[in-house]
């Protein structure tokens, strides 16, 4: 056994797809036909096997882990002789641009809200915490979107700390992939959910990772369970380019789209532009700022071709 696999064995339980899928045990597929169609609607390539083999065991694991936290609260209640603060369980999902974080997050939200112990599951993406376009332009960060310095980390940590403190209503800013900017007209209210899923490139980063070192609390300080979605870089680039080409036929056609001028591109032109954005922005960000946080995650989901999950690593 080489030293890498010895280290991996020391840190993680490693599951092949087959071994992991058996951990579903008796969990039924609780999604109705309509819900499944809705999930598939947002992503027609999502296979039912992916939901039953990968996401059902994962929802069982998360249900048990959230249950342990709820048990601990009962102990606290007995000890304090009063109800402990109502604090949501926070699950984070990170990984590269285009790895499928938001798809994973939406499937988990749909599955987790079926458990009677935690029916209210909210989903927030950190995209809304990117600085508004005008600020990014002023700071010279237009080619650094997604890098740590492009997020208002103070706003993000204040948000998550207010949610964790059990505040009745906390507003999350929203991002528009159409205008490529923070939305000024609408916020997402978060009202004391049982579970909050927080999805974004940067959720495992700490103040020590960024250029401006800071000891202020960061998102990862508030997260109870962290998931990293992983895939080889050539596949990520391929998925990013495929999505860019799809957008050209959908989102980019919208006259309000920031990328409206891309809607008339030929396939070759679109591929060249997408490849360039990947090589100059998203790939360096992955190597410098995202991948180095992977081993902090409690759970690593490893994808292969066609978004098929091949391996699952669970921290011991």
Ligand X SMILES: CC(C)(CO)[C@@H](O)C(=O)NCCC(=O)O
Annotated binding residues for ATP, as ranges? 95-102
| 185-204 binders of ligand X (CB under 6 A) | 201
Round to whole Å and give the CA distance between 220 and 278.
26
In angstroms, give the least distance from the CB of 251 to ligand ATP.
12
- Which residue's entry shows tokens 């030929």? 266
| 95-114 binders of ligand ATP (CB under 6 A) | 97-103
Task: Output the CA angle 28-230-240, nearest 5 degrees.
Answer: 105
Record the tokens describing residue 57, joined without a space: 């065991």
Interface map 20-49 toward ligand ATP (x if CB under 6 A): -----------------------x-xx---
| 248-307 binders of ligand X (CB under 6 A) | 277, 281-282
Cross-strand partners of 13: 314
Asked if 152 interacts with ligand X (CB under 6 A), we say no
Closest by alpha carbon to 39, among 29, 51, 57, 23?
Answer: 51
282 touches which of ligand ATP, ligand X, none (CB within 5 to 8 A by kind)? Answer: ligand X
145 touches which of ligand X, ligand ATP, none (CB within 5 to 8 A by kind)? Answer: ligand X
Q: Which is nearer to ligand X, 277 or 314 (CB)?
A: 277
Rounded to a whole number of angstroms, the distance between the first and last alpha carbons of the chain is 19
In angstroms, give the least distance from the CB of 276 to ligand X.
10
Q: Which long-range contacts (CB under 8 A, 24 or more apart) does 152-156 make?
A: 153/129, 153/202, 153/207, 153/210, 153/214, 153/218, 153/219, 154/216, 155/129, 156/126, 156/129, 156/219
Which spans of this chain sit near ligand ATP (rule: CB under 6 A)?
A: 43, 45-46, 50, 97-103, 239, 243, 307
Which spans of this chain sit near ligand X (rule: CB under 6 A)?
A: 97, 127, 145-146, 201, 277, 281-282
């Amino acid at each position: 056994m080489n030293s890498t696999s010895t280290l991996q064995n020391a840190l993680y339980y490693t599951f092949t797809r087959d071994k992991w899928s058996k951990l579903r045990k008796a969990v039924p597929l609780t999604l109705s036909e309509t819900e499944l169609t809705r999930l598939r609607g947002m992503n027609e390539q999502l296979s039912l096997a992916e939901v039953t083999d990968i996401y059902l065991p994962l929802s069982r694991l998360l249900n048990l882990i959230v249950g342990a936290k709820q048990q601990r609260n009962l102990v606290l209640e007995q000890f304090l002789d009063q109800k402990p603060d109502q604090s949501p369980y926070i699950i984070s999902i990170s990984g590269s641009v285009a790895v499928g974080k938001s798809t994973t997050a939406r499937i988990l939200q749909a599955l987790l809200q079926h458990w009677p112990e935690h029916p209210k599951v909210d989903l927030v993406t950190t995209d809304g915490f990117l600085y508004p376009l005008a600020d990014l332009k002023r700071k010279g960060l237009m080619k650094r979107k997604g890098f740590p310095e492009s997020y208002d980390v103070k706003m993000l940590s204040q948000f998550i700390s207010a949610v964790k403190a059990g505040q009745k209503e906390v507003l999350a800013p929203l991002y528009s992939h159409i205008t490529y900017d923070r939305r000024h007209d609408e916020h997402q209210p978060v009202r004391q959910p049982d579970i909050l899923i927080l999805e974004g490139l940067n959720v495992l980063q700490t103040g020590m990772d960024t250029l401006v070192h800071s000891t202020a609390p960061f998102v990862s300080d508030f997260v109870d369970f962290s998931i990293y979605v992983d895939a080889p870089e050539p596949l990520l680039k391929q998925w990013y380019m495929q999505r860019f080409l799809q957008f050209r036929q959908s989102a980019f056609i919208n006259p309000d789209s920031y990328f409206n001028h891309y809607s008339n591109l030929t396939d070759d032109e679109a591929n060249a532009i997408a490849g360039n954005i990947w090589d100059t922005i998203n790939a360096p960000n992955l190597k410098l700022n995202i991948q180095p946080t992977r081993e902090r995650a409690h759970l690593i989901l490893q994808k292969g071709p066609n978004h098929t999950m091949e391996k699952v690593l669970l921290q011991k």
